[in-house]
Amino acid sequence: MKNKYWIFALMSVVIWGVASVLLRLTFDSFSSITLVTARVWLAAITMIIICRVKKLPPPRLRDFPIFLAGGAIGYAVYLVVQYIGFIYVTAATGNVVLASTTLFTALIALVVFREKIRPLGWLFSGVSFAGLLILVFWNGVLSINIGIVYHLIAALLFSGYCLIQRLMTQRYTAIQCCAYSMTAGAIIMTPFLPDAIRDIAAAPPSAVVTFIYLGTIASGISFTFWSKAFALAKRTADVSNFLFLPPFVASIVAYAFFGELPDWGTVIGGVIIIFGLWMFQKKA
């Protein structure tokens, strides 16, 4: 089972790729704050129910601060900062900056966990990044403004979350890691819950269905898969490198849902991303 981490990582990034496309259905009904609040609260409730059904014990008292940090940097603050970033920069620019999560995660894991990557691993990470640049900038526009700073902060935050999950999956199951961090994130967002409930009540059916998907599937289930991948992988970077894939998945989903035909940049960039990712798994 140890070599099956990639299945869980792949399922996570596919779900996130779908979410990034469907997210547009919520723009007229939710603000960034209320959407994050509603999404995290629904995910937390879903995960708590699963924990109760499986009769999983609560976290140990000494681990409360770690899960609180995970809830803040992996859900509450991370998602808000990411959404604010997309207000200022194009999706193309945002996706490229967010891809730096992979680099930050590998560098921090090198210091914290002493996880070394062979030179060929760094090379093929660069290949995947080059494929991402081709994919998003083929017809995209580069934005240079404060939004890049927000996305760099978001990338650093999610890198920290990945490392927390790597650490805590050595003590808890993937379901527990996701549930406890998500619950902490929901608690942090509690002041905004009344506004979120009002937005849900006034939202059209399409936005409500999308919100349910974001809360249950794109948050609860996908983050559980992500934690499971870290539990099975030998190194943190083996999992984080899959973060190059969501923009490619989003392009395919946009075609399936909205008939947005992928351009040659999507095809060429996607092939290069997948090649680099595959070679990283073999040579790193």
Confidence category of residue 249, pLDDT binned at 50, 70, 90: confident
Residue 71 pLDDT = 92
Burial annotation 165-185 (CB, 10 A radius, 16+ → b, else e):
bbbbbeebbbbbbbbbbbbbb
Domain count, the chain: 1
Of the pLDDT bands very low, low, confident and very high (cuts 50, 70, 90), residue 82 is: confident
Q: Provide the domain limits for residue 81.
A: 2-283
pLDDT digits (tens, 9 = 90+) for 263-281: 788 788 889 989 988 898 8
Per-residue model confidence (pLDDT) at position 141:
63
Helix axes 119-137, 100-112, angle to 10 degrees: 160
Residues in the chain: 284
| Pair of tokens at residue 202 | 């006034």
pLDDT band at 8 (very low <50, low <70, confident <90, very high): very high
Question: What are the respective helix, strand and coil percentages of the chain, to the nearest 5?
Answer: 85, 0, 15
18-44 pLDDT, tens digit per residue, is: 887 888 788 889 988 898 899 999 999
pLDDT over 60 at 1, yes or no:
no
